[in-house]
Chain A
Amino acid sequence: MKKYFWLIPVLLFGGQAQAGESVVQALTGQYQQHGAGLADAAHGKEIWQQQHMQKKLKKRVSCASCHGADLRRSGEHLRTGKRIEPMAPSVNQERLSDPKKIEKWFLRNCKWTWGRECTTQEKADILAFLQSL
């Protein structure tokens, strides 16, 4: 009996990591039904770093402005200074595990950072990029 105890953490954490992956897969599938093509992680990385004018702040910003340059470490909100937990699912297992949360923050942050909603293709690409971290 005792020799199987190592299975407990493996199942717990392994299960969680897989949950994240399947969430991303399911969302990507939905995006593809709404016009997106194959998810491109390299393009996701590129648009993550793209600078856009934030009208209210009168500053050029990108996703990295708040999430930080290294997504395996925590970021800091540009204005309020609030700590933002790491985005990389390999470091922070809560990331990319809740589709409702993903959509909520896509809506808010695309509008704030880019001044418009992200397209399904852009969302698929960004998810692929983050999942690869």
Chain B
Amino acid sequence: MKQKLKCNRIWGMMLLVGCIMLSMGTLAWSDDDEWFEHGNKHESEYGEGKHESAWQRTTGVAVVSNKLYKTECSACHFAYQPGFLPARSWVKMMSSLDDHFGENAELDATSRTAIEQYLRGHAADRQPNRFSRSMMRSIGKRETPLRISQTPYFQRKHHEVPARMVKNNPKVRSFANCASCHQGAAKGQFDEDAVRIPGFGNWED
């Protein structure tokens, strides 16, 4: 009798382990494969850049990998990662640089084309990471947002932040200044834990 009980227990354990392994396998499989293929296809089309490590892919948005984009655009503002907007948004933005949110940001033709290519190739709809996928899911198929801060995903993530901490905070002024509060912004890290609002300290839920 005792022997039979022990035997059952072993079988039970094996069944449990089997179930867990099977479910983990499914999870891993459904997570990124399809997107990876998609990303790779465009990667070869546009060249530039390597795939990020699995860690970066899941915890943040892919970092900026183009020097020209970084120097030209961050001369005036934070170099927003291309994975925050779909390719169609970047194309529209790069075709209206003479009125860039009220500023003139015209570039010579060569730089303009090179930067547009980079942005298109690394846009949210060409990236396998979860950040970009969430962003894409929140944007309507017919919408072409130009401001990252006006996408539903961004607004959902920031709706708890009061105006006094950003808009009316002279040290921040606008949601456009990502790096004012997100300490790891340049590295593509936008976790809540690493948020420090100037004049207010760490962000607490």
Measured CB to CB, the residues of A under 8 A from B are 56-57, 77, 79-82, 100, 104, 107-109, 111-112
Known contacts A80-B77, A112-B103; A104/B173 CB under 8 A: no
Q: Which of A57, A80, A100, A112 contacts B174 (CB 8 A)?
A: A80
The answer to whether the Cβ of B102 comes within 8 Å of any Cβ in the partner chain is: yes
Least CB distance from B152 to A in Å reads: 25
Least CB distance from B168 to A in Å reads: 13
Q: Smallest CB-CB separation from B102: which chain A residue?
A: A56
Neighbouring B residues of A112 by C-beta, 8 Å: 103-104
Known contacts A104-B107, A104-B108; A82/B102 CB under 8 A: no
Neighbouring A residues of B170 by C-beta, 8 Å: 81
Neighbouring B residues of A56 by C-beta, 8 Å: 99, 102
Least CB distance from A104 to B in Å reads: 7
Neighbouring B residues of A109 by C-beta, 8 Å: 104
Contact in complex: B77, A82 (CB < 8 Å): yes
Contact in complex: B104, A80 (CB < 8 Å): no
Neighbouring B residues of A108 by C-beta, 8 Å: 103-106
The answer to whether the Cβ of B28 comes within 8 Å of any Cβ in the partner chain is: no
Shortest 8 CB-CB contacts between residues of A and residues of B:
A112-B104, A108-B104, A111-B104, A56-B102, A81-B173, A108-B106, A107-B106, A82-B76
Q: Smallest CB-CB separation from B170: which chain A residue?
A: A81
Least CB distance from A63 to B in Å reads: 14
Neighbouring B residues of A107 by C-beta, 8 Å: 104, 106
Neighbouring B residues of A80 by C-beta, 8 Å: 76-77, 173-174, 176
